[in-house]
Amino acid sequence: MITFGIAWRIRNNSGPDTFIEEPNKYTRPLVWLPPTSDPDNPDENCYLYQFNTISVKNTSIDGYLLLSGQPSLNPIILDDFKNKTSQPKTGCMDRDQLLVRKGKQICNTSTGTYVDGSINFCTKQNGEKAQPGESQMIYYNDAKFIDRTTNYCNNLPICKGEISLITLNYDPSPDGIIKSKCITYDYKSNVYLGDCANPVILQYQLFRVTRINYGEFIFEVAGSNEGKLAGNNGIFTQIFDRNTGLCLDKQGTTGLFNVPRNAFRETNGYDCSTGGPIDLYGENIMFGTCTGYGYSGTSVGPPAIPGFNWLFIPSMSFCSNPYGCVQNQYASIEQQIAYIGDIDMTDFQNLYKGVTGASYNGLTGDNAWLMWLIDKNAKTLYTNNVVTFLGPIAVNNLIGDYCPSTLATANYFNIESYNLLRKLPSCINGQIGDIIKCIGW
């Protein structure tokens, strides 16, 4: 752990009589006046500054770890900042973003002198002293300092989603993250799979993944208990690219996707790597305008939020028989990401929430809503380890082949989770000593 020490210059006073005697005459150290617009800097716009996550080579794991962007108000950094926009693409901002404007701040001109003759001063951001009346340029967004009618820089709430990598054909073994590939897009917004955390393409594979349940919102709604943040763990999902302001969506075209056998991994005791390639019929996906069915939550707060066109299907055992299943009749469902942007989800709500009396074809609970999605022809993300496409929800024992279902196994990792999993194989193999210290390093 790195310990930062803050050194303060402390006067070596002999006692209270060093200062003016009467307490009500004590003079506080000078403070900066509220910032104002600067005539020499006519650009008074608020800008959103995004401090990108970067990949850092780590020799201990022979791979890359991710280092989250750290926002800074340092003018030296922001004056030449390249990754800024005049308008936020959403009504919230992430923890690696700042919404600020530039202004001038003047050191308070009131006088205040200690008995020993020293004069009060202000401290600049760079640590230098500023005399009364002297000014500095700063970046700020505190609403109380700003004229709300002209120079108001809205303090946006923090987004609920997490900046994450999304993997397909995910291998849950300890070194699975090393083998897995991540959803990436090119300059035409076409989607393919690339090596996770590759520094060349990293900025094209980090997305804000926001998950909400019924009645929740993507950020806090002022004055509303309905809108409070409730954790990023729902099933309605938006996959948002901050660089373009686009959401992951289906493209609308279909075709056959050739899947070589080396794209499969072993599952349920089956070796899927042998044999010839197979063709799977599916639909193309791409990043496009955040439209679609959306998800409105309740009547309180913002209107329907577009782009929530995906649904996280958790791993589960599935029984499609309304009379129940014995052990060998259960189907295996691996975690998947299904497209629901073209499905009216009204009836789904009651099934998923388990409302009393809610059933579908004699099924209740998880079996009911999953069977409902299958019958609605919902599609889930697949890959042939090169491109991604939409195919049928993968249900082992129902599609007649264990192997294709592995192609639909999906997962996503925020930055902290990715780093932990990326270090884990080296820790388990004893390459870095004590496993607890290893994981925490």
pLDDT(51) > 90: yes
pLDDT(99) > 70: yes
pLDDT(20) > 70: no
pLDDT(427) > 50: yes
pLDDT(200) > 90: yes
Q: Note the pLDDT of residue 429.
A: 63
Strongest mean pLDDT among 191-205, 281-295, 297-311: 191-205
Q: What is the pTM of this model?
A: 0.80
pLDDT(369) > 90: yes
Average pLDDT for residues 333-348, to the nearest whole number? 88
pLDDT digits over 384-403, tens only? 888 899 999 988 754 445 66
Q: Which domains does the chain carry?
A: 16-145 (no CATH), 162-420 (2.80.10.50)
State the pLDDT confidence band at 119, using cuts at 50, 70 and 90: low
Rounded to whole angstroms, the Cα distance separating 69 from 71 reads 6
Q: Note the pLDDT of residue 265.
A: 67
pLDDT(115) > 80: no
Average pLDDT for residues 420-440, to the nearest whole number? 65
Chain position carrying tokens 């089956």: 270
pLDDT(275) > 80: no
Average pLDDT for residues 320-333, to the nearest whole number? 86
pLDDT, greater one: 229 or 357: 357
pLDDT(147) > 60: no
Average pLDDT for residues 110-129, to the nearest whole number? 66
Q: Note the pLDDT of residue 148.
A: 43
Mean pLDDT check: name the lowest of 33-37, 229-233, 269-273, 422-426: 229-233
Q: Note the pLDDT of residue 4.
A: 28
Average pLDDT for residues 195-200, to the nearest whole number? 93
Average pLDDT for residues 15-32, to the nearest whole number? 43
Q: Note the pLDDT of residue 150.
A: 47
How far apart are the two ends of the chain, measured CA to CA in Å? 9
Average pLDDT for residues 303-318, to the nearest whole number? 81
Cα 249–Cα 338–Cα 362 angle in degrees, nearest 5: 140
Average pLDDT for residues 49-66, to the nearest whole number? 89
Mean pLDDT, the chain, rounded, equals: 76
Rounded to whole angstroms, the Cα distance separating 124 from 137 reads 9
pLDDT, greater one: 436 or 55: 55
Q: Note the pLDDT of residue 130.
A: 86
Average pLDDT for residues 203-230, to the nearest whole number? 65
State the pLDDT confidence band at 21, using cuts at 50, 70 and 90: very low
Q: Note the pLDDT of residue 103.
A: 84
Q: Note the pLDDT of residue 292.
A: 61
pLDDT(214) > 60: yes
pLDDT, greater one: 309 or 265: 309
pLDDT(374) > 90: yes
Q: Note the pLDDT of residue 402.
A: 60
